[in-house]
Amino acid sequence: MKIRSGLSNLSLPRRDVLKTIGGAAALLASPAVIRPGFAQEKTIRLGAPFHRTGIGASYGRWYERTANAAVALVNEAGGINGMQVEMIVEDDGTDPKRGSELIEKFATEYKVDAVFGHLFSHVVAASAPRAGELKMPYFICSEASLLGAGKLNRYTLQPGITDVRSQVKAMAPWIASTLGKKVTMIFPDYNFGHDHRDFFSAAIAEQGGEVVAKIAIPPTETSFTRYLPQIAPETEVIYHVMVGPAVLTFVKELGDYLGSQRPEIFGFIDSLEAVDFSTPQLSFLDGTYFWEANPRYAQAEQTPFDKFYREKVGVDANGASTADPKDISTYSHMFSVWETLFAIKQGMEACNYQGPANQKDLILAMEQITAFPESNEHPQGAKVFNGKLHQVFGSQCISKVEGGKLVVAHRTSVEDGMYESDVDYTKMDL
Amino acid sequence: MGFGPYLLLATLEGLVQAAVLSITAAGLSLVFGVMRVVNVAHGEFVMLGAVIAWFTASLLTGHPAMGFAAALLVSPLLVGAVAFASERVVLRRLDYNPEATIVATIGLLYILQQTVLLVYGPDARPVDPPFYYTIRFPWFGYSAYKLFVIGAAIVIMGGIWFVLQKTRAGLVMRAAQYDRETAQAFGIPVDRVSAWVFALGAMLAAIAGVLVVPIQQAHYLMGADPLLLSFIVVIIGGLGSMSGTVLAAVLVGLSDGIISMMFSPTLAKMVSTLLVALVLVFRPNGLLGKAAR
């Protein structure tokens, strides 16, 4: 018996052998294996570490869709310097450790020309130093004021979206004059939230206002009612900015807690990105205000650029996916990926970029850029780029919730958000 | 807000937490008591319960209460079936060896978590509560659904007590917990009891998941917190002791609610962890636990 079974094990059926070999061949030939090794023809290779999973997942999904649409558009128009653009997406799990590992992988295995698309600030803070060491052009689509604080390096740039410091500086005068001067802030207890705390406190003080309570909430918190009694009784304005999977819980509990005798509420749309406003428990938000970088609902005065961009990405007039009206986009953030890609294109064209040997030239070319006019490439609006600071400046929207939709009530100018900084990345080693 | 209303809100929050926690921890405690299996995947059963509740509720149109009631029925059944199958396929084959089952349930944790990630996606999705009503105290408003959760927990815990103390099935479970071998000798099919108990424990977790999903949201990573807190509760209460579990859940829930409001949530977590350490040093079997035989 034993011998026979041994023999039958040895005599593998031919079909099985063929199947196994075929499978192995298919696996070896798959892009996942071939890609890192050798490229077939000359392309521009962009590494895209998106937050497909983890607490940034809803952002990551839309960053990827937006990037895909932008890459398709670039390639249709002939690519960059005659080369097609190839985007290599990897999931970083919204995890700082994996974020920096991916920078390494993009640089050494995939040998990409540049990396773009990181959003969450703790991931950026962990990944940027590695990009600097590896001399890999690293384009962030984040908001924390890491660049402005001089904490990053020569190879890290943010040409697609403004930072928190600029956003709050632009809006503080409007908040103080329209809503009130005594503010309670509710923010996540890490880098991004701390930027809000520090820069908004300073900006509102300049307007003669003050922050009467600062409520820091741990990033993994799932229940919020317990924090709300810290809202100071003299509060005129509640300022909230929350991120992550529990945002809806936060807003609901705020509504339950406050009821109808609420102070004015000013929130960052981050608290409700990817969340449907027509959820019944959110009706208390009617009449409150939100910061938006890019208005989720198509406005009466919608630009042709916004219309073009919406159509290409597949977003309807309510900011939801055209394929599924329940799939709400992260409209106020994802344009940054689109605009960043076109900024990279502009930089690469300026220095006649041909391959990784020109990465230094790309950085130098980016630093020479001074402005991005409003266009299909920059649908959120005109922007000014500060080459020394590696940071872009643009306008902000303050929108009012009216009947479950956001209507822009005020749009700041680009200058409103400009701030002085003595940081100069161009003096760092290249 | 004065001290009185402050304390009231803290107590309410604490009780809601205690309610959810006691159901979850009861499941963990039951499984450990009868099977001596430390189920690391217990939190994932909570998550699975919540996610299935979302699927059920989104399939049914009409009044949210319908979807919720259906979820309360469907979700525990499906989760129980998953648990039953994994007990038969995995745990039984390991002979309930303590070390092996810990590793196996860790594996189960990842399988469940990643399967949900694949099927359901990485988003947090809300389920409508069966009713919207906010109770207006003069100082603050409070969701009536949360009070419903406290009530539901009392009913469910009463149900568990009834089953364990007053029914034949409960008697069999208690016998298997008291002395496995003697129970076997008296003709109790201990092996089959194990499978049912494992399923029952998972069903309790799923019920907790359904109850909590209108308050929080269904998310594939939501199992970590309930797991940690359940372990804290079960260790403080005494592994396998049902009344100890309830006592500890109320203790931990209230102290967590009150300390995190009066001082800080971080301090609350420190206190409950300290409590675990103290219990392990001075009463290694938990507050109401009995020495292992």
Q: What is the pLDDT of residues A323-355, one digit of tens each?
A: 999 899 999 999 999 999 999 999 999 999 999
Q: Which residue of A has its CA nearest to B223?
A: A222
Do B260 and A248 lie within an 8 Å CB cutoff? no
Confidence of residue B61 (pLDDT cuts 50, 70, 90): confident
When CB atoms are compared, the residue of A54, A57, A256 closest to B134 is A256
Do A221 and B121 lie within an 8 Å CB cutoff? no
Q: What is the pLDDT of residues A148-197, one digit of tens each?
A: 888 899 999 999 999 999 999 999 999 999 999 999 999 998 888 999 99
Rounded to the nearest angstrom, the minimum Cα separation between A240 and chain B is 19
Nearest CA-CA partner of A252 in A232, A222, A229: A222
% of residues, chain B, pLDDT over 70: 98
Do B121 and A257 lie within an 8 Å CB cutoff? no
Rounded to the nearest angstrom, the minimum Cα separation between B167 and chain A is 38
* Residue A162 to residue B133: CA distance in whole angstroms: 40
Q: Which residue of B has its CA nearest to A60?
A: B122
Residue-level pLDDT at A2: 41
Do B6 and A57 lie within an 8 Å CB cutoff? no
Neighbours of A370 (CB within 10 A): 10
Rounded to the nearest angstrom, the minimum Cα separation between A250 and chain B is 9
- Joined tokens for residue B133: 């009503």
Phi and psi at A213, nearest 5°, equal: -150, 140
> In chain B, what residues touch A248 (CB-CB under 8 Å)?
124, 126, 217
Instruction: Specify the 3-state DSSP secondary structure of A390.
Output: coil
When CB atoms are compared, the residue of B123, B132, B257 closest to A281 is B132
Number of H helices, E strands in chain A: 12, 15
Task: Determine the residue among A223, A251, A283 to mutate to test chain B binding: the one whose Cβ has the most chain B Cβ atoms within 10 Å.
Answer: A223
Residue-level pLDDT at A420: 87
Residue-level pLDDT at A9: 45
> In chain B, what residues touch A325 (CB-CB under 8 Å)?
none
Do A226 and B6 lie within an 8 Å CB cutoff? no
Rounded to the nearest angstrom, the minimum Cα separation between A403 and chain B is 19
Q: Which residue of B has its CA nearest to A279?
A: B128
> In chain B, what residues touch A218 (CB-CB under 8 Å)?
265-266
% of residues, chain B, pLDDT over 90: 50
Do B117 and A246 lie within an 8 Å CB cutoff? no
Nearest CA-CA partner of B16 in A251, A253, A262, A243: A253
Counted across chains A and B, CB pairs separated by less than 8 A come out at 75
Residue-level pLDDT at A132: 95
Rounded to the nearest angstrom, the minimum Cα separation between A277 and chain B is 13
Instruction: Report chain B's mean pLDDT, rounded to a whole number.
Output: 90
> In chain A, what residues touch B257 (CB-CB under 8 Å)?
226
Q: What is the H or E stretch that residue B108 is in?
A: helix B98-120
Worst-scoring range by mean pLDDT, A178-192, B40-54, B197-211, B249-263? B249-263
Residue-level pLDDT at A3: 42
Q: Which residue of A has its CA nearest to B6?
A: A229
> In chain A, what residues touch B122 (CB-CB under 8 Å)?
52-54, 57-58, 60-61
CATH architecture type of domain A164-300+395-417: 3-Layer(aba) Sandwich (3.40)
Do A257 and B6 lie within an 8 Å CB cutoff? no
- Joined tokens for residue A50: 């998106």
When CB atoms are compared, the residue of A57, A222, A281 closest to B216 is A222
> In chain A, what residues touch B225 (CB-CB under 8 Å)?
222
| Domain edges within chain A | 2-32, 33-162+337-394, 164-300+395-417
Rg (CA), chain B: 19
Domain A164-300+395-417 in the same topology as domain A33-162+337-394? yes
When CB atoms are compared, the residue of B123, B134, B143 closest to A57 is B123
- Assembly ipTM: 0.82
Task: Determine the residue among B143, B222, B228, B254 to mutate to test chain A binding: the one whose Cβ has the most chain A Cβ atoms within 10 Å.
Answer: B143
Residue-level pLDDT at A282: 83
Residue-level pLDDT at B275: 87
When CB atoms are compared, the residue of A58, A222, A256 closest to B123 is A58
* Residue A285 to residue A254: CA distance in whole angstroms: 10
3 state SS for chain A: CHHHHHHHHHCCCHHHHHHHHHHHHHHHHCHHHHHHHCCCCCEEEEEEEECCCCCCHHHHHHHHHHHHHHHHHHHHCCCECCEEEEEEEEECCCCHHHHHHHHHHHHHHHCCCEEEEECCHHHHHHHHHHHHHCCCCEEECCCCCCCCCCCCCCCEEECCCCCHHHHHHHHHHHHHHHHCCEEEEEEECCHHHHHHHHHHHHHHHHCCCEEEEEEEECCCCCCCHHHHHHCCCCCCEEEECCCCCCHHHHHHHHHHHHCCCCCEEEEEHHHHCCCCCCCHHHHHHCCCEEEECCCCCCCCCCCHHHHHHHHHHCECCCCEECCCCCCECCHHHHHHHHHHHHHHHHHHHHCCCCCHHHHHHHHHHHHHCCEECCCCCCCCCCEEEECCCCEEECCCEEEEEECCEEEEEEECCCHHHCCCCCCCHHHCCC
Do A58 and B122 lie within an 8 Å CB cutoff? yes
Q: What is the pLDDT of residues B100-151, one digit of tens each?
A: 999 999 999 999 999 999 999 888 888 888 988 888 888 888 999 999 999 9
Per-residue pLDDT tens digits of chain A, which is 430 residues long: 344 444 444 455 666 666 666 666 665 555 555 555 454 578 999 999 999 988 888 899 999 999 999 999 999 999 999 999 999 999 999 999 999 999 999 999 999 999 999 999 999 999 999 999 999 999 999 988 899 888 899 999 999 999 999 999 999 999 999 999 999 999 998 888 999 999 999 999 999 999 999 999 987 788 888 888 889 989 999 999 988 778 888 988 998 898 877 899 999 998 889 888 887 778 888 999 999 999 999 999 999 999 999 999 999 999 999 999 989 999 999 999 999 999 999 999 999 999 999 999 999 999 999 999 999 999 999 999 999 999 999 999 999 999 889 999 999 999 999 998 889 999 998 8
Q: Which residue of A has its CA nearest to B133?
A: A256
> In chain A, what residues touch B142 (CB-CB under 8 Å)?
225, 256-257
Residue-level pLDDT at A37: 47
Sign of the Cα pseudo-torsion (A43, A44, A49, A53, in order) = negative
Query: A33-162+337-394 in CATH: which number?
Result: 3.40.50.2300
